[in-house]
Amino acid sequence: MQQLNATQIKKSFINTSRREAEKITPPANLAEVGWAKLEYFGWADTKIPQRAYIIVPVDDVPRGLMLRVVPIAKSQAMCSWCEDLHETIGVRMFTAKKAGSSGRNGNTLGTLIHGNFECSEIVRNPPRAVEGHNDFETHVSMRISKLNERATNFVKRVLGEK
């Protein structure tokens, strides 16, 4: 993923008004982010705990989504983006208002993602015996590709393209 600054992040949002996007507070440590090893960038809002944000490159253009955290009881679930079988604690349901008139009419989409947005790190973990892969590089490459595909598809659904 390409490195982004605060201005680029605020301009990337597709499911917010301009006013809402201007009020978004990107994380303070943007210069320390390991952008090269990210398939998407996500963070929780420090001021509004039920809100989070993700930036996904779609056709090399950063597309930002404002998400709402759905309150749930403590449980385990599989992340819809990295589909890791073992890292199931901390997966949360997020909803995103659809872009355009559909979103203004109250339409949303939901997805299960790790609450601390660690999918890019998880997909780079070595395969476990249960996964049946002996070739580390092929396994990781496939998982990275699938994560990119699922994240991109979610953004495209929010845009109404899928």
Task: Quick: pLDDT tens for 65-82.
Answer: 999 999 876 678 899 999
Q: Answer left, alpha or beta for residue 160, where phi above 0 means left and psi between -120 and 50 means alpha.
A: left
Taking only the tens place, the pLDDT of each residue in 99-117 is 999 999 999 999 999 999 9
What is residue 70's DSSP assignment?
P
Question: Can you give the pTM of this predicted structure?
Answer: 0.91
pLDDT tens, the chain, 162 aa long: 999 999 999 999 999 999 999 999 999 899 999 999 999 999 999 989 899 999 999 999 999 999 999 987 667 889 999 998 888 888 999 999 999 999 999 999 999 999 999 999 999 988 776 666 677 788 889 999 999 999 999 999 999 987
Q: Where are the domains of the chain?
A: 6-159
